[in-house]
Amino acid sequence: DSGSVTASPRQQDTEYLCPVQIGSPAQTLPLDFDTGSSDLWVFSTDTPRSEVNGQTVYDASSSSSAKRLSGATWKISYGDGSSSSGIVYLDTVTVGGLTVSRQAVEAAKQVSSSFSRDTSSSGLLGLAFSSINTVSPNQQKTFFDNAMPHLDAPLFTADLKHNADGRYNFGYIDKSAYTGSISYTPVDNSQGFWGFTATVDGTDVTGIADTGTTLIYLPDSIVTSYYSQVSGARYDSSNAGYIFPCGSSMPDFSFNVGGGGGGGGTVTVPGSYVNFAPTDQTGQTCFGGLQSDSSIGISIFGDIALKAAFVVFDGGNKQLGWAAK
């Protein structure tokens, strides 16, 4: 089996949403595919009306294939402090033509305000490792884990784009989607994430590939060194990050992966991607797409990095492949 689904950017690439079919007859919800978490959760008819703000909701009672997972609950919080929790159904889930029957669909009974405010997203589809799925008492598998045994190849690829529709493919590598060769590097999934080591200016950086995080967060030394090349750039505590004049032409930002025998490969993030967004309506000052990881405790290669590459999440061989495009 295989699947292929469009990933549409929202609000200047802050997130990417994909249409997912749930239940019988199919209910299509736009979900945020997140390689940094492992719960598939949705706004539902169980979500308080006061917390629903235009989102499409899942109604298990109108799906003939839905079965309540008796006694199961879930509760999750994300890197930005947002959170959600609820109950669990098993139902049929289809992504880009790839179907998993009896997928744990986690219906929200509570969502935090940032999810309520995010009117275009009906929830998340986790693509990290099932070891960090939050369903209790019996942990559930991710869509990818459930699909893997049926896939032509035990992998999925992420091809996110700047201000344009990209694609997630499951079970195959589309050779027309990248240029040159794919450089592979081992994955450390001991924390449940797609962890890997890259080299930036000769310094090894261990981080995670996280499609659910908008920006890149790296060690202070690397970030300070990058912005030292931009006149007027400074760390601004009120914005809690590096800012600079919006007219600045930003240097490209490169990192190497798979530095083994074959010399590995280089991913180059165009400077224009690092000029992320204005800090206010005047458009004078802009916020950087590369920020320090010192308040997080882990380095994150988020969408700013991922959209500069074609990325293979290889669950069979536990490796990450990176290619230019």
Ligand X SMILES: Cc1ccc(-c2noc([C@H]3C[C@@H](O)CN3)n2)cc1F
| Site residues for ligand X per CB under 6 A | 15, 32, 34, 36-37, 78-80, 82, 114-115, 118, 121, 124, 210, 212-213
Q: Residue 81 is encoded by which pair of tokens?
A: 């402090």
Rounded Cα distance between 141 and 155, Å, is 15
- Nearest-CB residue for ligand X: 212
Largest Cα–Cα distance in the chain? 61
Closest of 208, 194, 237, 224 to residue 290, by C-alpha = 224
> Beta strands 40-42 and 98-111: pairing type?
parallel
Catalytic residue among 34, 39, 303, 314: 34
Residue 72 pairs with which residues in a beta bridge? Answer: none
**Cβ proximity of 34 and 127 under 8 Å:** yes
Residue whose CB is less far from ligand X, 80 or 204: 80
CA 230 vs CA 80, 222, 262: distances in Å: 27, 14, 33
Q: Is 30 exposed, middle or buried (0-12, 13-18, 19+ CB in 10 A)?
A: middle
Residue 266: φ, ψ to 5°: -110, 130
What minimum distance in Å lies between the beta carbon of 84 and ligand X?
9
Cα–Cα distance, 38 to 43 (Å, whole number): 16
Active site residue 34: yes
Catalytically active residues are 34, 210
